[in-house]
A and B are shown apart, each in its own frame.
Chain A
């Protein structure tokens, strides 16, 4: 190590903290960062690689496909990690370490830092974690800049507002807008929407972008034991394929349900029907 931790600037320490995945690092003071980094160092060498690769690069290693899915025991902290800065394209944010044999040093052209939009996009990582990325580079952001001044990006309290559509609740998490992405702890089996914005001086939430709606999968077996059965015959299938084009895209389940209702009303033949019955368990 070239420099002692105490000789580093906060920015340098923060970079190290990113590598060491220190929780809440963006909130920590210089001294706190140093303390946490020292602790971390004593605990474990984070970057230790497995002793040997199981297979050649191209072929998928059989080992990583776990047979038993370990129940998640460690709870995710809300602020898991932040990587890229908005100023630099995310692809450049983490310069790859020099490797022993740089046979292929060409990593391709740089990608755009942004696409001139105001967006926030949510992606499900697992039942308890959603990844969001955002871009504040479009007309809405320009409007806010005019209305509130450049200062708003540095001084206002920026938040990600997490709306749990299923539970009808919402919470806000403080965030730095220039970070560009975040991993959020979320409840399983829920529909989630995320907005990015800030609190105006008057205390109201000013929204710059709203995300797509995502659903986290259930973490456990369904308590629903009401069974639904159906037979799909070829001609019925064609019907499905035809009718489906517009109808089913928005909500997958609704269509079959509608068909089931229609089938009951018409009293269709035994060849193609959908029946509903309750569980005999």
Chain B
């Protein structure tokens, strides 16, 4: 913003990177850990590579990412990183094999692309990051190009919690974890599922959080009416700034019909080698159960609205050109939007464009490339729209309107229904019972030491893990529901077990060590956060 030219508008790109904490040391091979492995190869490492390229070529940019505490804990976990490396090497081996296998076919170029892709992912992960990718993200934050915000400790759905203590604990544990990983206080937070209800800002203010994000209607239905709509941040009654989501820029990327990721030139997600190749050929890249699943080698393009068997071969170069075209279109639209809004509002608008990080790369394979092009174009081809980080914007714009935002989420229908419906409402009576018992424990044992302290801390971990909004979400969507049920019941049961042991004054050391080894998130936790 040191630029002399007065911009017509500010654009904040926000990537929300999150995965639930899935780590099963008790099994050699665990299917749901794949979520993390795929996220690493397809999204997190490719994003890092984009930042590296831009930074190496001195392209000015600002980008905001939330790296949620569970994801950060997984990225920093030795066991998971070793398992990931094992997976990566096996895919790399397949990549080398495929490059030979597909020689002279219509898929040759794509096969070579995968080989190079996995080689470069391995190089970034092993040679450059030394398997510590968090420190690579941290480096970009320290350089000032990336702003990392936190997220409630286990992506808990704050408005459906019963006690203020539980809400506060989600925020406080997240902040402590952020300090551990990133060496400073978090300035902003992405509320899980963008879920806000009046009063949540109290917990944020208490932990020194300066800003958070709302879905558009959270701001627009606020009281009093927000003067600049979602195009300027507001203060909540407790003096935390809130940025509202811009629907227009969201739609261009998110929408399954009109969105860029649905273009025919892009890679088709559902046509995968895991199903296409002869069973014996791909067997060794699958899980021990031997069921065919996606393995990440996809050779077809979306083509159009045709059945999977009619998809035509993917052309990496054509897809890349399309990504460049879309980046140009996105920029064009933002410039027009900014100019129009600036004349309407009498001040440059702040445009917030938040996305799930996993959309880029995992789902929309060309997404990281799109970001790369977009950032370059914004930097060199125009001066109307400037990329900003929210914290930086607040430093320069301190006078904001005060409104009480409306309760809202970014889920279907805009409120809590995705996380509260017939498929998952049974969880809340248990989660609430845990909350109340945890508060009771924290008050009753204010200065526990030794094994009691360990048990109390573990109880806090169990309730936090049970609260992850992912379980409720999965129960609603109907895929992998048994795992979501199991995780909810496991953590709630372990919590009650520890509660019972603590009240009886007899903590079973071996059992506790067992649970600690299984649910090893947040080693730094202090159960005292649950005290009133």
Closest partner residue, chain A, to B356 (CB atom): A60
> Smallest CB–CB gap between B513 and chain A, Å?
19
> Smallest CB–CB gap between A115 and chain B, Å?
5
Can you pick out 20 interface pairs between chain A and chain B where the beta carbons lie within 8 Å of each other? A57-B474, A59-B39, A62-B254, A67-B250, A67-B254, A67-B255, A69-B217, A69-B413, A96-B481, A96-B485, A106-B482, A107-B485, A108-B488, A109-B490, A215-B197, A217-B415, A232-B235, A245-B206, A255-B237, A256-B238
**Complex CA distance for A36 and B507, rounded to whole angstroms:** 55
Question: A84-B426, A230-B402, A244-B206 are contacts. A123–B413 as well, Cβ < 8 Å?
Answer: no
> A168-200 interface mask toward B, CB cutoff 8 Å, 1 = contact, 0 = none?
000000000000010000000000000000000
Mark the stretch among B136-144, B223-231, B447-455 that contacts chain A. Answer: B223-231
B517 close to chain A: CB less than 8 A: no
Q: Are B486 and A104 in contact (CB under 8 A)?
A: yes
Please indicate the chain B residues that have their CB under 8 angstroms from the CB of A256 in the complex: 237-239, 402
**11 new A-B pairs (CB below 8 Å) besides A228-B402, A231-B398, A256-B239?**
A58-B32, A59-B39, A67-B251, A83-B426, A91-B485, A105-B482, A121-B432, A123-B416, A217-B221, A227-B227, A252-B199
Q: Are A62 and B224 in contact (CB under 8 A)?
A: no
Q: Are A126 and B398 in contact (CB under 8 A)?
A: no
Q: Are B223 and A224 in contact (CB under 8 A)?
A: yes
Q: Are B489 and A107 in contact (CB under 8 A)?
A: yes
Q: Are A55 and B269 in contact (CB under 8 A)?
A: yes
**Complex CA distance for A257 and B362, rounded to whole angstroms:** 47
A167 close to chain B: CB less than 8 A: no
**Complex CA distance for A121 and B401, rounded to whole angstroms:** 34
Q: Are B205 and A241 in contact (CB under 8 A)?
A: yes
Contact of A229 among B400, B426, B430 (CB under 8 A): B400
Q: Are A241 and B208 in contact (CB under 8 A)?
A: yes
Closest partner residue, chain A, to B159 (CB atom): A124
Please indicate the chain B residues that have their CB under 8 angstroms from the CB of A232 in the complex: 235, 239, 398, 400
**Complex CA distance for A230 and B234, rounded to whole angstroms:** 9
B328 close to chain A: CB less than 8 A: no
A-B pairs, 4 with minimum CB distance: A108-B489, A58-B35, A90-B426, A126-B415
Please indicate the chain B residues that have their CB under 8 angstroms from the CB of A123 in the complex: 160, 416, 420, 428
Mark the stretch among B52-60, B112-120, B275-283, B403-411 that contacts chain A. Answer: B403-411
Question: A222-B221, A231-B399 are contacts. A111–B489 as well, Cβ < 8 Å?
Answer: yes
Question: A111-B430, A230-B402 are contacts. A124–B415 as well, Cβ < 8 Å?
Answer: yes
Please indicate the chain A residues that have their CB under 8 angstroms from the CB of B418 in the complex: 64
Contact of B198 among A63, A221, A252 (CB under 8 A): A252
A3 close to chain B: CB less than 8 A: no
**Which positions in B face A, CB cutoff 8 Å?**
19-20, 31-32, 34-35, 38-39, 159-160, 162, 164, 197-199, 201-202, 205-206, 208, 210, 217, 220-225, 227, 235-239, 247, 250-251, 253-256, 259, 261, 269-270, 289, 291, 294, 356, 358-359, 362-363, 398-404, 406-408, 410-418, 420-422, 425-426, 428-430, 432-433, 473-474, 477-483, 485-490, 492-493, 496
Q: Are A65 and B410 in contact (CB under 8 A)?
A: yes
Question: A103-B289, A108-B489 are contacts. A218–B402 as well, Cβ < 8 Å?
Answer: no
A6 close to chain B: CB less than 8 A: no
A52 close to chain B: CB less than 8 A: yes
Closest partner residue, chain B, to A82 (CB atom): B422
Mark the stretch among A8-16, A127-135, A150-158 that contacts chain B. Answer: A127-135
Please indicate the chain A residues that have their CB under 8 angstroms from the CB of B402 in the complex: 228-230, 256, 274
A93 close to chain B: CB less than 8 A: yes
> Smallest CB–CB gap between B26 and chain A, Å?
12
A268 close to chain B: CB less than 8 A: no
Q: Are B291 and A103 in contact (CB under 8 A)?
A: yes
Q: Are B429 and A230 in contact (CB under 8 A)?
A: no
Please indicate the chain B residues that have their CB under 8 angstroms from the CB of A231 in the complex: 398-400
A225 close to chain B: CB less than 8 A: yes
> Smallest CB–CB gap between B351 and chain A, Å?
15
Please indicate the chain A residues that have their CB under 8 angstroms from the CB of B223 in the complex: 218, 222, 224
Q: Are A249 and B164 in contact (CB under 8 A)?
A: yes
Q: Are B235 and A230 in contact (CB under 8 A)?
A: yes
Q: Which of A112-126 contact B (CB under 8 A)?
A: 112, 115, 121, 123-126
Contact of B256 among A54, A112, A230 (CB under 8 A): A54
> Smallest CB–CB gap between B389 and chain A, Å?
18
> Smallest CB–CB gap between A136 and chain B, Å?
12
**Complex CA distance for A93 and B225, rounded to whole angstroms:** 44
